[in-house]
Chain A
Amino acid sequence: DSGVTQTPKHLITATGQRVTLRCSPRSGDLSVYWYQQSLDQGLQFLIQYYNGEERAKGNILERFSAQQFPDLHSELNLSSLELGDSALYFCASSRGGRRSYNEQFFGPGTRLTVL
């Protein structure tokens, strides 16, 4: 158990809908990262938040957004869902200093199925 929690474990929805995925980082971690894992694209970095502020963006679609709250939990919002958004979405956390690099610990993931 990495200490990173994600809810829900599974989500089934229809095209055009909007969903919210939730992540709680390990105790003491300030950085949260979101990744998407799909068969075509593999594991891709979407976005990072550090202590409530967006820190880095990867291959995140405009239909997707995220935020990190004062208690450091994070939410990933996916809207106007398409079939191709079906994937496993991982959250990871790290200590996350501005000038230091720390390993990332991954949660169990949320499996999203868009029908």
Chain B
Amino acid sequence: AQSVTQPDIHITVSEGASLELRCNYSYGATPYLFWYVQSPGQGLQLLLKYFSGDTLVQGIKGFEAEFKRSQSSFNLRKPSVHWSDAAEYFCAVGARGGGGADGLTFGKGTHLIIQP
């Protein structure tokens, strides 16, 4: 079974500074990888996804993530954060291949705080 680890429960970043949120996964093959964002009282919004191909993927709101097979990681980055980026960020893994569960496995989330 797959698992996802987000090592940082909270991260505080100054507005305008760069951001990197860590995500490590455990899965027997190359999984489908996702980053979602959840603002208070809201549902989850898909930021970006990795299915195959280029290991650097671009998403919405200026976010990007890099898939590193050797490190089983899929870290999320943004060069300059805005106060509106304050939210909870979730990394998720989906299993490849038919026949298995297609539900996503989520990490515990990283709470991002933006300092003015």
Residues of A at the B interface (CB closer than 8 Å) are 2, 4, 31, 33, 35, 42-48, 55-58, 90, 92, 96, 98-99, 101, 103-109
Q: A101 near B32 (CB under 8 angstroms)?
A: yes
- Given A103-B49, A104-B104, A42:B43 Cβ within 8 A: no
Residues of B at the A interface (CB closer than 8 Å) are 32, 34, 36, 42-46, 49, 51, 90, 94, 96, 98, 100-109
- Given A42-B109, A103-B34, A2:B45 Cβ within 8 A: yes
Q: Which of A55, A58, A104, A105 has the most CB of B within 10 A?
A: A104
- Given A101-B96, A103-B34, A106-B36, A2:B43 Cβ within 8 A: yes
- Show 27 residue pairs from A and B whose CB-CB distance is below 8 angstroms, ordered by the A residue: A2-B43, A2-B45, A31-B102, A33-B102, A33-B103, A35-B104, A42-B106, A43-B106, A44-B106, A45-B103, A46-B103, A47-B103, A48-B103, A56-B100, A56-B103, A90-B44, A92-B44, A98-B98, A101-B32, A101-B94, A101-B102, A103-B49, A104-B104, A105-B46, A106-B36, A106-B43, A107-B43
How long is the Cα–Cα vector from A31 to B94 in the complex, in angstroms? 14
Q: A58 near B101 (CB under 8 angstroms)?
A: yes
Q: B102 near A109 (CB under 8 angstroms)?
A: no
Closest CB of chain B to A24's CB: distance in Å? Answer: 14
How long is the Cα–Cα vector from A92 to B107 in the complex, in angstroms? 17
Q: B96 near A108 (CB under 8 angstroms)?
A: no
> Which A residues are CB-close (under 8 A) to B107?
42
Closest CB of chain A to B77's CB: distance in Å? Answer: 20
